[in-house]
Each structure stands twice: as structure tokens, then as C-alpha cells.
Structure 1
Amino acid sequence: MLLLAGFALVSCSSNPAVEPDAHAQLDLSDEPVELQIVSMSEWTSHIDSVNGKIAGVSVPSAGAAVLAAYWDLDRAAYPGATVVLATGDSFGTSPPLASFFNEEPAIIALNLMGLDLDTFGNHNFDQGLEHLQAMIDLAEWDYLAANLTRVPQNLRSVAPYTVRDVGGVPVAFIGVIDPQAPTLVFPGSFGTMDVTAPAPAVLEAWQMAQDSGATSFVVIAHLWSETTEAGGLKGPILDLAGALHRAGMSDRGILIGEAATAPLICTIGESASCSYGPQQEAVTPMTPGPEGMFLVQNREQGKTYTRIFLTIVPKTGVITDRRVEFVVPVADAVTPKASVEAALADYRQRLDEAKSEQVCMITGNFDVVTEDIRSREVAAGNLIADMIFEYGSSPDIAIINSGGIRSSLPSPDYIPQDSSLSRPPGAAPWNLLRGDVEAMLPFVNFIVELDITGTDLWATVEHSVAVSTTPDAGPFLQISGFRYWFDLNRPEGSRVCRIELDDGTVIEPDGKRFRLATIDFLAQGGDGYVALPNSEGFTRDLLTDVIIDQLRKHETIGPEDYFDAERMRINNVTGVTGGCTF
């Protein structure tokens, strides 16, 4: 981004000793100016188009080259007064075009798209600090995280805030991440860094930024909101907004959160006033209430992005007007940016050559979306758990977290170039390709075998049952080699009433040992499975390679082979008279 004469870009390291910048002493204008903040949330390397929605109808939208074209137009409308930013997870859990090349194409695309600033989401840490540092080094934008401790000992080129001149206004941009993020990734992925409470970190960074001359601020926060049973909203992004309002900051800045289920604006003051964008048109203008902290949330993957227009008095930083446009970046409304497409062409060719490898034939869809893999037993989960079980060295049981299974089979996220292949929506059987499996299982996980006690298995299953009652429960387990029954009306921690092996052998919560095949993420206590690190074990091969090798042993597979409604593995007997009586 170009900086106007007389101003400097100011970033600080995690060291709180920051010298005030020279431009803090400049005589800033007291005439209001309008600037534009362009933001997106949780892009997760969706380089190709996704399905946006206008008036309930799906339309091809976004993708790197399309977003780049939109953002070029946005910058041209407000030259020198536009900043493009993201709120974390711009890469991670990615479609194959990015994940196959360790996210490198996504970073190159974002460089060409003109991203200026970003913070971290938990998925940025999925492959550990060495990989994250490589992505930071490749990126041409700045990463901000005010609530990470011991950053210099773990990462380079990460600051709590930066001050940028935007249209004559010295604006502080402050990043914060979810304090729960370390529990959502492989243990140790944060190195020695801890994530502290967002509000105190933002307040400290804002004070330091003012010492460096900032008069206004934008917080980019990888924090969420969700709907309550009463129809309201709750979540850490709303808690942060309330804290900033109580600190008297509502007229000096705005807050942008992680992705929501629909475009959302809120003003958080003495009470919260929130509105969802209906997206009846490609561009939906919305005006927030006049009082309170202004909060914006987009949809994920670029399905919407926001243009936030702020009228600010540079000298005081006071915002005198604020409005927002939620944009569905419809693909055919612009000419995709050629330089982005050219930079990705070689990756596409190399990917297609690797991904088009035939694995087997498939007679039906192993669905993970409409069948809600994160709350119950489904064929796709049974398939992967069975493949892990079959690969193991005579395990008794196998488990995998549903959150690690990211796409259906065949995968809608993988589109082979060979049009002669049999693929949905054509008639089955379909060609199942390597690209489908890698889209389904994008994380870098290895098979691990552990010797666990019956007590630890009961604790593990209890945790899976407990999380099944929460929305979008990624930790919920898909299983193989055993069955269990549970009753949600029983007290938490004692809801499981029976566990047995496939041969009917009852597993008691005692010291008897069983061989468990799983993935290293769970074996190290990821997703809250704290009983598993108590066990001794060993690491084997890469999960995706194992699944592909196991599938090759089958000429044809179908969901009917991996789901038996008459003999369920996971049995919810809540409300069933005598359901827990054996």
C-alpha cells in the first residue's frame, strides 16, 4: 500500500517499549475524510470459485482471480485511502490446489490480490511453526497478533499492531486470535506461545499505537459469534466489542470478526443491536446504529466480503459516519485478474497430473454435510475409521475425529480436468481419484497406534458424547472395531452405559489394555482427548497415503457397505425405556 508523504508505517515487535513516531507530532487535519476498509474472513485458500448466494440462489463467486479484480476496482475508487485485510485462516483446511503444495499457491495468490494485513486463526498453525514461518516469509503483507506471548522466541515478522496512513488518517490495525486456538490444533503447534485474553491485549496495543501517533483503530479478530437458543447472539467477539465500548473506544474504531453463517453487523453499547445481511442483491448496503462499538462479520471463503466506509476526523480520530456494503463477488461480473491466473497455471497442471490417479470406483456419495458427520455415525466416518483399523497392526479399535474429515467422496472441492471420467452429477459408479481423498483429508496427520486402558477408552468416549451436543462438534469421534451406547439424560461424565468390541466382548472402565489405531493429532491430546497421551505407542504412515492404499484394495466401494442401520456402532438411547439396561 502506498503511504502519503509525511507519514511512516509503524509496526512494533512484541516488546512493549515503543518510541513515539515522528508523525505523532504532525498537525493533522480537522476536516473529515472518507476511507475504505475491505475485509474478508476465513478464506482458507479457496483459490477457485465457490458458491455464493443471492436471494437464495447459488452463483459462482469469489476465487483468487475474481476477488483480485473486485479489489482492484475498490482501490481505484478510493486511491490511497483503502486497506485490504483478513481476519485469520486465510490458509489452512484448504482445497487441493493449495494443500497439495503446502499452501504456497494461496500465499502467492494473496500477494497478487493485494492483501495488506492479516491475523492468525487456528488453522494457520495446523502444520506447525516451521511451516507457518515459511508462509509468513513468503507473504507480502503484515501479520498482527496482540494477544500472543513470547512471539520473538517462536516467530519472526509478527507484530501486535501497525499504524498506517489511510487517506490522511493514522489508523492503528490491531490483531487478536482466539484463546482457544491452541486446543484446536496439534499439541505443541504454538511452540512456547500462549494466547492471552483479547480485551486487555487490544487496550494495551491501542495505547502503544496512540503513542506512535494513531488517532483511530481497526481490530481484526479471529473471534466468533453464535446464535443463542433465545435467538440472540453470544461469543467472544461480542465480549470484546463490549469491553472496547466500556473503555470509551466506540467512536474511534471498528471491530471485524471471523466468518459468520451470514453477513452480520452489530453495534454493541449498553445493549447489542445486530442485523444479518439478507443478500438479495450482489451488493447489500447496511447502516449500523449510531451508538456503540461497530462490529462486522463476513461469510467464509470469500462468499461475501465487506467494503466498510468510515468518515473520520484525522486530528481526533473520531468517526462521524460509518456504513458497510456486503458484496457477493459474482464471478461473471468482472474479468478475472490475468496475473493471478497466470501465476497459478503451473500449479494447476502439476496438481492435475498428481490428483488424477485412479483409486477405485464408487457407487454413491459418502456425504459429510447433510448427514452431519460431526454429531452422529455416518458412512463416510465409518469408511475412514475402518481403513485405519484395517491398516493397523492387529488393533482392537480405531477412532478419528470428525473435524479431520473435511469433504464428501467424491469431493466437490476437487474437479479433475479429464472430462471423460465418470463424476457427479452423472450416473454412478464414479471414478474415485487421489484428489478426492486428499480433499476429504487435507490435514497432515500420521497413523499412530497406542495401547490404552479400558478406563482411558471410557473417558475418551465420554468426551466424544459430551461434545456431540455442541454445534459443529469437530471432536466428535467416528469409530471402528467397537460399539457403544449412551444416554444424554444421565449426568455428564457418566452418559456412556456400555462399550463392547465387535465380537461382543464388553470393555470395562478398568486397567485392561487394548490396541488403538488413530491419528497423531488425537494421540497427543488434540480436541480435548486428554486421556490418550497417557498411553505408549508408535507412529506409522501418512493418513492420506494409508487411506488411498487401503481403498486400492477394493475394486468398488459404496456407502451401503459402511453403514448398517440394524447394527449401529454409536447408539443414542436417550429417552428409550431400558436403553441403558444390559
Structure 2
Amino acid sequence: MTVSLRAPARLSRAALALAVSLAFAGCAATSSREPVTINIVAINDFHGNLEPSRYTPTGADGAKTSAIRAGGAEAVAAALQAWRKEDKDLLFVSAGDLVGASPAMSSLWADEPTIEAMNMMGLRASAVGNHEFDAGRKELLRQQNGGCDSVRPTKACQMGPNYGGAKFTYLAANVVDSATGQPFIPGFKIETVKGVKVGLVGVVLQDTRSVVMASGIAGLKFGDEAEAINRAIPAMRAQGADVIVALVHEGGTTKDNPMSPGCTNLKGPLVDLVKKLDPAVRLVISGHSHQGYLCQVEGRTVTQAGSYGHLATRIAMKVDAATDTVTDLQVQNVVLKPGDFPADPKMAAFIASLKERSRAALTRPVARLAAAPVLRKKNDAGESVLGSTIADAVLAATRNLGVQVGFMNEGGIRKDLEAGENNVAAFGQTQAVLPFGNTLVVMDLSGAQIRSLLEQQWARPESSSPSILQVSNGFSYQWDEKRPVGSRVVPGSIRINGAPLEDGKRYRIVANNFLAEGGDNFPEFAKGTNRLETGMLDLDAFTEFLRASEGQGASLAPAAPRIVKIK
């Protein structure tokens, strides 16, 4: 900066001295601006888990340790309270699926308690997740904006006479209303932290249509995630954004320790997405895959914090205030165990009140189990004890309609079936297994269609991992991973009640309404004929089956494998 010392005649010497001193002070202020550290805390895939749940930590050596209870609203709130004492300007964000597939304590009240808990914790923004669409676009807008006009009228506004909506902003830069050509909801928002304007842009996986009820997202287009983020950057810059942070509800997987920064082995659709991003995006906070990781992808930091509030990602983003560039990113995943931080009194009181109001429904006994927990963990062939049990349950509930085979998608099974004292499972524990409120649909499929349906387990457009359907008693087959995709089922191995499957024969099957619409990339279900919408909840079928099995005292595990992988 150049300063002229020649004063106009009308200026006094005193005025000149003051002008010169102010000019040099301005130079000093410009050149000495200190870097700013912006502290961010991120969660993802909370799914209405207001209470702690089972979590298996990873040790320093990368091995799994004993299961603990972690997560829940009180643990997250306590940690935020402690960290805000270190930095009152802490920015709390989410990468989606705050609600949907929620345990009963949230879903009983149309997930309004979870939205309120996030309001209390000072959440500022969240990418929309695919599960935010579980009850349809109208309900998502109600959750954001408030009101009682709900597709769940028996649950909405039952906590109180009014529901005020989310105080944070849901973001979806890649979701467009087909009728208007305009964004369905905002794509980005800008938060000012310590004088730095942080642009937060959110997207949901482009493949949302395959994992959500088609009827709930009618009229919406889901575009390429990276293109939407890049397209939003000029608009954010025009509104003054200094740095850009992407909240992406899409994920990856890695075998690296979720607690160790610097992993370079991230795999999955998120990797290609990140590689296409504008260089301005240095930080990607991800979700959807329920993994924990702190990775690097072509110079960008990519994080995820598991699910259910078990982990929180702490991010220290150093910004050069003179050039508005990110100069350093330090990341850490922290396990959130109840009691690790002093309780947040307001959150503790809120959860206690909610538990009391929900207690009668949640604690209602359903059945005594022979052994607990009943696990959803799959064996090498893709079969799980819990999945087989649910498939048996939907078959038992519809046998009087001529059904021969029951199918269940593994993604619809959200938790292990746990039990309390004397192995008695309560309604809250069964509902946590099947929280979607799906109904059962009966239909006819030909033998050829069933064969095609099974092959679709490996034809996954967005994933290299198969999605193995859980099948009921009396149905069995073998598959060979050495065979090419499209012909992995071993010829002649499919049996229904001991008889070989016949391509030209019609079979009566049952599945939940999500699968019946072709969800989870199983389009063959949508081609079923002679369809009957039973209106029966899968949860009701499951609980009735557990009651009927109670007196038998036998394990729910199948007597013999139904799905066999050729080795």
C-alpha cells in the first residue's frame, strides 16, 4: 500500500499525522490476519436412535472388541455440550438419514422427537438421506416446515398440539421437482463461523429411487451428485462463501480402522463421486453405508461416523483468513458412550419424559425367546437366522392365501432382535427390527421369474456386494460365485417344498410392499400378477410368529441351510 505524505493545504499537521497513522494501521491489520480454526462435528445415519444401542468398537490393532452400548441423543448432546465449552462457535452438521427406519420411541410419534432432539443440539444443516423419503415427499416437507397435515395422522402432533418443524435446514442439491424443474428443497446454505462464510452443500445418492417406495418420490428427479455439488459452487461463491463443505448421503467401505486418520483404501460409489468434485471441495462428510472412516481421496478428506450416534466425527478445519483457503484438516472419530461426558440436563429431561410417555407401548411383552439376541449377521452364503425367521413369519401369516414362499430383503432388517429379562422380547425390541411399517403383498410369479429374481441378487448397479434375499422354510437353492453374474444359481438346485422349480409353473409368494414395487433393485417383483395388498404389517406377522413359536422352546435357527454357497 502506498501512502502520500504531501498534504493538501487545507489539512492541518495534526490531521495529516492522524491520516498517516490510520493508513499504516490498516496495512498492519490486513497483513497480520491470523488463520481461523473452524471446529465441525458431524454425524450420519442416526435413524431416530434416541436411546443407546449395541456397538462393537474396533481396537487399536484393527480387531473388533466386545460389544458395548453407545450412541443415542443423550450421549451426542453431552459430547456437544462439552466440546462447545472448548469452542462456542462449533458447527454441528449431518450427512443424512436422521430419521426413517427408526425405533419405536421415535416412530411412535412420527419421528418428531428426533427432529426436536436435533433442534435442541443445535444442528445447523443435514443432507437429505434416502430414509427421509420413507413416508414420502409430503412428510419430509412437514418435518422441515412443521404442521400437522401428515400421512401419519395417528402419530403426528401427538406429542403436543403443534409441531414446529426442524430449525436446521435439509439440503438436496441434486433433487429436482419434475413439474417445475426447480430444486425440491434448498441445495445449500451458508453459515458464518468466526468471520468465515462456510458453504454447506448437500446431496443424496442418485440411486435413491431403488431404495425408496416409488410412490413416495413420484415427480422427483435424482441427479448426479458430483455435478449438482459443482453446479452449486458458483452460486455459493456469489453469496460470499469462503470455503465449501460437501454433505453427501452416499458412502463407501474400507477395512481400515475407523478411528485412524489417513486411510487410502476407501472403495465404493463415493470414491468416483469425490474424484469428480471441484478442487474447491476439500472436505466431504459422507453417510449411507453405516461405516466409520477417515480417508483421503486424491487430496480430499472424506469422513463417515458409523450410524445411530455411535460415533461422531470431530473436524478442525484451519482456514487462511487472508486468502480464504483451507490450509489444514485434522479429523477424529470419537465413540460416544453414555456417561463419558457430563449430561446435558435439558436433553436428559426430554428423553426421560419421552420414555415415560412411550413406556406402555415399548415395554409390552411380545414373546419369550429360546435364546437372545437373534442375529441379523449373515453367513457366507448370505443367510441369517433373523432373516430366515422373518421370512418364515410372513409365510405363516399368509398361508391361508395359498402362499408357498416368503421373501425378505436384508436391508429392511435394521437391528438384531434383543430381549430383556428371561429372554422376553418387548414390542419396542421387535419394532426396532422392522421399523418401516411395511405391509405384505401376495402375488404370483412363474418359476422362470423366481429364477430371474434370484439372479438379481448379484446384479447390483451401485454396489459390488450382493443383496441376498432371506427365504422361508421349504425354499432352498445353491449358488456359485465362480459363475458369471446372471447365472450364479446352480441349475436344478432350486426346490420348493422338496420339488424342483418348474419354469412354466405359477407360484404364490409374499413380500413386503417395498419389494413388491421392485425396490432394492429387484424389478422382477413388480412384474408379479394376481396381486393382493393384504394391508397386514410385516411387524404384526413377525410378532405373531414369535408368540406362536414361544411355547416350542426351540431355536429360531433353521434346521438346515436354505441357501448354500458352492465353494
SS state at 1:341 partner: helix
Q: 2:293 aligns with which of 264, 277, 283?
A: 264
SS state at 1:526 partner: coil
Q: 2:412 aligns with which of 404, 425, 432?
A: 404
1:297–1:378 Cα change, 3 Å? closer
- Equivalent residue, structure 2, for 1:563: 558
On the 8 A contact 1:142/1:157 being kept in 2, the answer is: no
Larger radius of gyration between Structure 1 and Structure 2 = 2
Q: CA deviation at 1:75?
A: 2.6
- Equivalent residue, structure 2, for 1:43: 46
On the 8 A contact 1:403/1:475 being kept in 2, the answer is: no
Answer yes or no: is 1:367 the counterpart of 2:360.
no
1:144–1:29 Cα change, 3 Å? farther
Q: CA deviation at 1:374?
A: 8.8
SS state at 2:500 partner: coil
Q: 1:527 aligns with which of 520, 532, 539?
A: 520
On the 8 A contact 1:249/1:293 being kept in 2, the answer is: no
Q: 1:478 aligns with which of 464, 471, 483?
A: 471
On the 8 A contact 2:407/2:469 being kept in 1, the answer is: no
Q: Distance in 2 between matches of 1:91 and 1:432?
A: 24
1:202–1:470 Cα change, 3 Å? closer
Q: Which moved more, 1:443-452 or 1:335-344?
A: 335-344
On the 8 A contact 1:142/1:158 being kept in 2, the answer is: no
SS state at 2:501 partner: coil
1:160–1:558 Cα change, 3 Å? farther
What is the percentage of aligned positions where both structures have the same residue?
Answer: 26
On the 8 A contact 1:88/1:118 being kept in 2, the answer is: yes
1:175–1:558 Cα change, 3 Å? farther
Answer yes or no: is 1:552 the counterpart of 2:534.
no
Task: Tell me which amino acid in the other structure corresponds to 2:132.
Answer: N
Q: Please report the TM-score for the alignment, with normalisation by the length of structure 1.
A: 0.78
Query: Which ranges in structure 1 are unaligned for 5 or more consecutive residues?
Result: 1-26, 270-291, 416-420, 423-429, 576-582
Q: CA deviation at 1:262?
A: 6.3
1:68–1:539 Cα change, 3 Å? same
On the 8 A contact 1:136/1:157 being kept in 2, the answer is: no
Q: CA deviation at 1:112?
A: 0.9
Q: 1:78 aligns with which of 54, 73, 87?
A: 87
- Equivalent residue, structure 1, for 2:130: 122
Alignment map for 1:239-254 (pairs within 5 Å): 239-244=272-277, 247-249=278-280, 253-254=282-283
Task: Tell me which amino acid in the other structure corresponds to 2:274.
Answer: A
SS state at 1:75 partner: helix
Task: Tell me which amino acid in the other structure corresponds to 1:111.
Answer: N
Q: CA deviation at 1:146?
A: 1.1
Q: CA deviation at 1:84?
A: 0.5
Answer yes or no: is 1:65 the counterpart of 2:65.
no
1:52–1:74 Cα change, 3 Å? farther
Q: CA deviation at 1:232?
A: 2.7
Answer yes or no: is 1:347 the counterpart of 2:354.
yes
On the 8 A contact 2:176/2:183 being kept in 1, the answer is: no
Alignment map for 1:11-26 (pairs within 5 Å): none
1:466–1:296 Cα change, 3 Å? closer
CA RMSD, 1 decimal: 3.1
- Equivalent residue, structure 2, for 1:309: 316
- Equivalent residue, structure 2, for 1:495: 488
Answer yes or no: is 1:390 the counterpart of 2:391.
no
Q: Distance in 2 between matches of 1:298 and 1:125?
A: 21
Q: 1:234 aligns with which of 255, 263, 267?
A: 267
Q: Distance in 2 between matches of 1:116 and 1:268?
A: 26
SS state at 1:546 partner: helix
Q: Distance in 1 between matches of 2:68 and 2:557?
A: 34
Q: Distance in 2 between matches of 1:386 and 1:410?
A: 18
Q: 1:539 aligns with which of 514, 533, 552?
A: 533
Task: Tell me which amino acid in the other structure corresponds to 1:357.
Answer: R
SS state at 2:498 partner: coil
Task: Tell me which amino acid in the other structure corresponds to 1:125.
Answer: F
Q: 2:196 aligns with which of 169, 176, 196?
A: 169
Q: CA deviation at 1:509?
A: 2.0
Task: Tell me which amino acid in the other structure corresponds to 1:249.
Answer: A
Q: Which moved more, 1:401-410 or 1:85-94?
A: 401-410
Q: CA deviation at 1:506?
A: 2.5
Deviations 1:59-115 (A, max 9, x none): 544321222122123233223x32110111122222332233332221111111111
Q: 1:447 aligns with which of 418, 421, 440?
A: 440
Q: 1:513 aligns with which of 506, 515, 526?
A: 506
Q: Which moved more, 1:175-184 or 1:153-162?
A: 153-162
1:65–1:407 Cα change, 3 Å? closer
Task: Tell me which amino acid in the other structure corresponds to 1:508.
Answer: E
Query: Which ranges in structure 2 are unaligned for 5 or more consecutive residues?
Result: 1-29, 60-64, 146-164, 257-262
Q: Which moved more, 1:86-95 or 1:254-263?
A: 254-263
SS state at 1:531 partner: helix
Equivalent pairs, count: 501
Q: CA deviation at 1:254?
A: 1.9
Deviations 1:340-374 (A, max 9, x none): 1222333312332113223332212363244x169
Q: Distance in 2 between matches of 1:58 and 1:493?
A: 38
1:319–1:483 Cα change, 3 Å? closer
